[in-house]
């Protein structure tokens, strides 16, 4: 049969859940083919399998309504309680370069930036790994600044759920989940929260800015210009209804 007939048969034969896997697999194969032809890079089959599984898992989360668009639209950053430091983390990711950038911003109850950093990691195969690595970098940075009580916020619900779960994680990011749980024990108090992207804009700006660099960068009581602007926006009062 022709490719069109074969593809139609695949969609008619399998369930809607499998449709996403089929489409993602075809997309990944075509992307790998283009890299081979245009760049001479032969992508490992195992890497393709990990990417397809990770991407399909993210699609499942989105399809299940875990990330509510309506709530994200109204969500915003809120300062932590007294004596706590809020640590916002996010990840930038470039699949072609297998490059991840962790953005970390720490703030006190008045919204003041206590420290910020961007850290680059290579040989990262999928976005969930980048998000999990960002969490470990955020905890390490907060510990190095000697904070005792922290609230860490991330906009990857899957990663936060895995860290908060008592069940053993057997996924591809299990080593990073284990590391985050172990690192959290160094604090007097440490909790993890999922937030929408709008409420995590400062860390997102830090991670995006970090993708343009090949070296780690650190600030104490300040941050890059784009992050300072995003933090100022977080402190802006809500418009009256």
Question: What is the per-residue pLDDT for 64?
Answer: 53
Instruction: Tell me how far CA of residue 22 lies from CA of 12, 17, 30, 188, in angstroms.
Output: 12, 9, 12, 47
**Which pLDDT belongs to residue 68?**
46
- Which tens digits make up the pLDDT trace of 180-238? 999 999 999 999 999 988 899 999 999 999 988 888 999 998 888 888 988 888 877 65
Tens digit of each residue's pLDDT (9 = 90 or more) over 141-196: 999 999 999 999 999 988 999 999 988 888 888 999 999 999 999 999 999 999 98
| Residue 198 DSSP code | G
Mean pLDDT of the chain: 84
Query: With contact defined as beta carbons under 8 Å apart, do 233 and 105 qualify?
Result: no
Contact 183, 137 (CB under 8 A): no
**Cα angle: 74, vertex 75, 78; to 5 degrees:** 135
Which comes out higher in pLDDT, residue 199 or 69? Answer: 199
Query: CA dihedral defined by 26, 171, 174, 198, rounded to 10 degrees?
Result: 60
pTM over 0.75: no
Longest dimension (CA), the chain: 67
Pull the structure tokens for residue 146.
């000697």
Fold observed for domain 75-235? Nucleotidyltransferase; domain 5 (3.30.420)
**Residue 217: strand pairing partners:** 118
Spatial separation of the C-alpha atoms in residues 44 and 94, rounded to whole Å:
17
* % of the chain beyond a pLDDT of 90: 40
Domain range annotation of the chain: 3-66, 75-235
CA 221 to each of CA 108, 115, 116, 197: distance values in angstroms, whole numbers, following the listed order: 10, 5, 8, 23
Question: Would the CA dihedral through 98, 212, 55, 1 be positive or negative?
Answer: negative
Six-digit token string for 103: 């953005």
CB of 140 within 8 A of CB of 186?
no
């Amino acid at each position: 049969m022709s490719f069109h007939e074969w593809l139609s048969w695949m969609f008619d034969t399998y369930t809607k859940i499998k449709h996403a896997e089929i489409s993602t697999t075809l997309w990944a194969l075509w992307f790998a083919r283009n890299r081979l032809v245009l760049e001479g890079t032969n992508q490992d089959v195992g890497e393709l399998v990990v990417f397809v599984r990770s991407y399909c898992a993210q699609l499942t989360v989105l399809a299940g309504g875990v990330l509510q668009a309506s709530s994200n639209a109204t969500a915003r950053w809120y300062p932590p309680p007294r004596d706590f430091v809020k640590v916002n983390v996010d990840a930038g990711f470039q699949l072609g370069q297998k490059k991840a950038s962790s953005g970390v911003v720490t703030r006190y109850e008045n919204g003041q930036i206590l420290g910020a950093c961007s850290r680059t990691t290579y040989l990262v195969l999928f976005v969930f790994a980048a998000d999990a690595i960002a969490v470990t970098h955020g905890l390490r940075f907060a510990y190095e600044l000697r904070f005792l009580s922290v609230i860490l916020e991330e906009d990857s619900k899957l990663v936060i759920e895995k860290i908060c779960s008592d069940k053993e994680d057997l996924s591809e990011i299990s080593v990073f989940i284990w590391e985050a749980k172990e690192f959290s024990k160094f604090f007097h108090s440490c909790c993890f929260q999922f937030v929408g992207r709008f409420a995590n804009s400062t860390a997102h700006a830090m991670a995006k800015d970090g993708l343009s660099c090949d070296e780690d960068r650190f600030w104490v009581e300040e941050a890059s210009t784009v992050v300072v602007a995003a933090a100022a926006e977080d402190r802006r009062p809500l418009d009256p209804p």
